[in-house]
Amino acid sequence: MIWALAALCTAQAAPPEARALPARVAVEAELFQQNAPRTLSLETLEQRSVASSRGRIRVGAAATGSAKPRIQIRKVVSEYTLASLAGSDSRALVEFRQVVSVDDRPVQSLESARRTLSLGLQSRDERVRKRMLEEFARHGLVDVATDYGTILLSFTSRGQESLEILPSGEERIGADDALVFTWRQTSPQGGELLFAGREVARRPLEGALYVRKSDGLPLRVRVWAVNPLTAGHTIRDEATIDYVMSAHGFLTPASVRHQHIVDGALRTENLYRYETFRLFGADTRINFSPIQDQPSAK
């Protein structure tokens, strides 16, 4: 409610030059779409979540007072890249990752992670990606958020056809003055796919886009959605994605801050940070040639 009210007030005060979304937004989104699949980064996830107290027995004085929430902290480092899925009709990108370390304890070498990642990218199979996500979540993570780094794709020329975009004033992003635009999806085919037991629904997305006032460069995207499958509870997910210009001349995500909110209380916060994105074959030694099976020992 507070965000909606703030957007309404600033939209009424929007200056005339902020009425049209800069054409550069679509240009940068399409450059990202074309070039991101050729890059690799090291992703660090720091997750803070409220640990469940179910199954814990409290005795003595601790049993008489209200239990204080325990905060569980996890740090997961992964090799990370983006790719489209094989057979997909769209040019949408999804995230592929391989865990390298958990809480500063090695899980596998960088070379092993890159080899497994390269095999997944060769197949670009949804089942392979699902296995990667399941493996990612097994490291003590809850409420895992994924694919937020690709939200810039919503603002390609084609993507904007399914959005309602309105001016919403100005803000400061770091050292830059930024024009702010609110947006929401209007296509019934859009939104985030959500699974809850046997129920399936799409959550319509909405949010805010921040572009540099001087030249229209996208700086930040905010996105939020409400879970429609949770009777009796209000579950909301919010994310803020910051983008930076890479040395290769196109935008890449710098960070993603995701919050999972249940009945108004923050339950999980995921903070993803990305190192400088490297080009395959130029800045990395990742090998996309098929890996031959090793002969069995006799």
- Is 286 a member of any domain? no
- What local confidence, expressed as pLDDT, does residue 169 receive? 95
- Is 65 a member of any domain? no
Rounded alpha-carbon distances, angstroms, from residue 246 to 5, 9, 175, 190, 296: 35, 35, 18, 29, 44
- What local confidence, expressed as pLDDT, does residue 202 receive? 58
DSSP string for the chain: -HHHHHHHHHHHT--GGGSS--THHHHHHHHHHHHGGGEEEEEEEEEEEEE--TT----GGGGTSPPPPEEEEEEEEEEEEEEPPTT-SS---EEEEEEEEETTEESS-HHHHHHHHHHHHHH--HHHHHHHHHHHHTTT--S---SGGGGGGGGSHHHHTTEEEEEEEEEEETTEEEEEEEEEE--TT-SEEEEETTEEEEEPPEEEEEEETTT--EEEEEEEEE-TT-TT--EEEEEEEEEEE-TTSSEEEEEEEEEEEETTEEEEEEEEEE---EETTTT-----SPPPPPPPP-
| Alpha carbon distance 268, 73 (integer Å) | 10
- Is 94 a member of any domain? yes
- What local confidence, expressed as pLDDT, does residue 12 receive? 39
Copy the structure tokens of residue 284.
């990395």
CB atoms within 10 A of CB 156: 19
- The residue assigned the tokens 């003590």 is 140
Number of domains in the chain: 1
| Alpha carbon distance 256, 105 (integer Å) | 23
- Is 57 a member of any domain? no
Averages of pLDDT over runs of 10 residues in the chain (298 residues) are 29 49 97 94 95 49 56 94 77 88 94 84 77 83 87 94 95 97 80 47 83 98 81 88 96 96 93 93 47 37
Rounded alpha-carbon distances, angstroms, from residue 18 to 15, 53, 163, 183: 6, 49, 17, 14
- What local confidence, expressed as pLDDT, does residue 19 receive? 61
Sign of CA dihedral 251, 255, 260, 261: negative
| Alpha carbon distance 31, 52 (integer Å) | 43
CB atoms within 10 A of CB 177: 11
- Is 289 a member of any domain? no
> What is the CATH number for 247?
2.50.20
- What local confidence, expressed as pLDDT, does residue 90 receive? 60
- What local confidence, expressed as pLDDT, does residue 121 receive? 75
Structural domain containing residue 36: 2-51+70-276
- Is 294 a member of any domain? no
- Is 62 a member of any domain? no
Pairing verdict, β 218-226 and 235-245: antiparallel
